[in-house]
Amino acid sequence: MYHQRPRAHPTPRRRSPLRAVPGRATPAPCSILDLAAAVVGKADAAHPADSVLRVELRNQRGLPREAAGEVSRAVFAYYRWLGWLEPDAPLRERLRQALELRQRFGAAPHGFSDADLLERAVPGWISGEMDVTARWARQLQTEPVLWLRARPGRGEELARKLGECESAGPGCPGEALRYAGSRDLFRTEAFQAGEFEVQDLHSQAVGWLCAPRPGETWWDACAGEGGKTLHLSDLMQNQGLIWASDRAEWRLRRLKQRAARACAFNYRAVSWSGGPGLPTRTKFDGVLLDAPCSNIGTWHRNPHARWTLSVQDVQELGRVQQGLLAAVATAVKPGGRLFYAVCTLTRAETVEVVAAFARQCPQFTPLPRPDPFDRARGEHAEHWLLPADRPGNGMFVAGWQRAA
């Protein structure tokens, strides 16, 4: 099993093992492993592998896109298969083992038993915090799906333009598309023209559940870079107003850039630290708290996080969420709606937050819970959007209405 060595991040930029060579199309596989090893060597709890990878690849000017893709795949395979690697083998050898395991699993997933996956794909402490199923552990080892959200009514047109897109299936709005190609979508004309966002399928479901109406006033309290703000804006047909707040100014700057590209104008971005002093006295028709969480529901996309999170983080985040939910609830107008969403599956960050809220704020009644993927099925009993059911992030959503 993996043991994390606590250590400082090396500050001076090391000379990269793979320098761009003008005219050379594809670097040798050994260079790819060297570059992946450089990323793994620098990543730790304070420096997530995906951020280190981004910086390393940015430093490799002229590195062909396919080679960059191979480096990324090697880094992610390393963390995805870490539980199977020989801890004493040299790092390059472990990377090679990880790529081989990835290939073996892709070719014959049932060559790996449920028991083996349950034991090695996730850290042992997690089973004390949530229900860990073999289906989930298996899903964690597969390559993640890339989901797009086209602008309203433009799904078919976008699928034709980009190619290699599939709709999300019956019951899903046509705007949700699964992209199976290998183009750099951020460089496409369609992206630059604001015709779509990259957004996980279950994150899109949060917007559908909120179902804001044109002309209403909403607060997206932890708006971050605006993934859900932009979705709410589209659902509101750019009418009414969304207050979008976050404590990270840099995230709000990204939100504004994205909103400009998407021509979303019905929002106001404000800083909010998360404390009891709210950014406005406005009372809202709807409030969405897409709360900071342990992100366990995204472990298939970000396997490094499996090995850096702790039980203490989970417990602490549950407490933060309770505080944020109680704070934002005061801004819901009588008869208005409140939604709480997290991309995690632990009890402390989901049902326990909901139970604490029910005790603290009895003036809120739980809303009916339609299945966002099958409206005809009516209400379903749980708030979970599970990755084992659909290839999306693991999420939990709860909604209430304030007494009129």
Ligand X SMILES: C[S@@+](CC[C@H](N)C(=O)[O-])C[C@H]1O[C@@H](n2cnc3c(N)ncnc32)[C@H](O)[C@@H]1O
Contact between 248 and ligand X per CB under 6 A: yes
Compute how many other C-beta atoms are within 10 angstroms of the C-beta atom of residue 89. 12
Those residues with Cβ within 8 angstroms of residue 179's Cβ, 6 or more apart along the chain or in another chain: 146, 147, 148, 162, 164, 165, 185
Q: What residue type is 356 in one-letter code? A: A
**Least gap, CB of 298 to ligand X (angstroms):** 10
Supply the angle between the helices 91-107 and 29-42 in degrees, to the nearest 10.
Answer: 110
From the list 144, 224, 303, 387, which residue makes contact with ligand X (rule: CB under 6 A)? 224
Residue 286 vs 292, nearer CB to ligand X: 292
**Least gap, CB of 326 to ligand X (angstroms):** 13
From the list 53, 68, 222, 236, which residue makes contact with ligand X (rule: CB under 6 A)? 222
What is the C-alpha to C-alpha distance for residues 87 and 35, in angstroms, rounded to an integer? 20
**Which candidate, 149, 131, 60, 136, places its Cα nearest to that of 391?**
136
What is the C-alpha to C-alpha distance for residues 11 and 209, in angstroms, rounded to an integer? 44
What is the C-alpha to C-alpha distance for residues 288 and 29, in angstroms, rounded to an integer? 46
Interface stretch with ligand X, choices 7-15, 37-45, 222-230, 363-371 (CB under 6 A): 222-230
Those residues with Cβ within 8 angstroms of residue 65's Cβ, 6 or more apart along the chain or in another chain: 184
Within 321-360, the residues that bind ligand X by CB under 6 A are 324
Contact between 274 and ligand X per CB under 6 A: yes
**Least gap, CB of 102 to ligand X (angstroms):** 28
Residue 33 vs 291, nearer CB to ligand X: 291
**Which candidate, 400, 240, 290, places its Cα nearest to that of 334?**
400
Those residues with Cβ within 8 angstroms of residue 83's Cβ, 6 or more apart along the chain or in another chain: 1, 2, 119, 120, 121
Contact between 225 and ligand X per CB under 6 A: yes
Residue 92 vs 247, nearer CB to ligand X: 247
Q: What residue type is 130 in one-letter code? A: M
Interface stretch with ligand X, choices 37-45, 152-160, 245-253, 383-391 (CB under 6 A): 245-253
Those residues with Cβ within 8 angstroms of residue 396's Cβ, 6 or more apart along the chain or in another chain: 297, 341, 342, 344, 345, 349, 350, 383, 384, 385
Contact between 246 and ligand X per CB under 6 A: yes
Interface stretch with ligand X, choices 35-43, 176-184, 224-232, 395-403 (CB under 6 A): 224-232
Interface stretch with ligand X, choices 58-66, 74-82, 190-198, 271-279 (CB under 6 A): 271-279
From the list 83, 227, 297, 336, which residue makes contact with ligand X (rule: CB under 6 A)? 227
For residues 189 to 208, the per-residue mask of contacts with ligand X, x marking binding by CB under 6 A and - elsewhere, is --------------------
**Residue with smallest beta-carbon separation from ligand X:** 274
**Interface positions with ligand X (CB under 6 A):** 222-228, 246-248, 251, 272-274, 290, 292, 320, 324
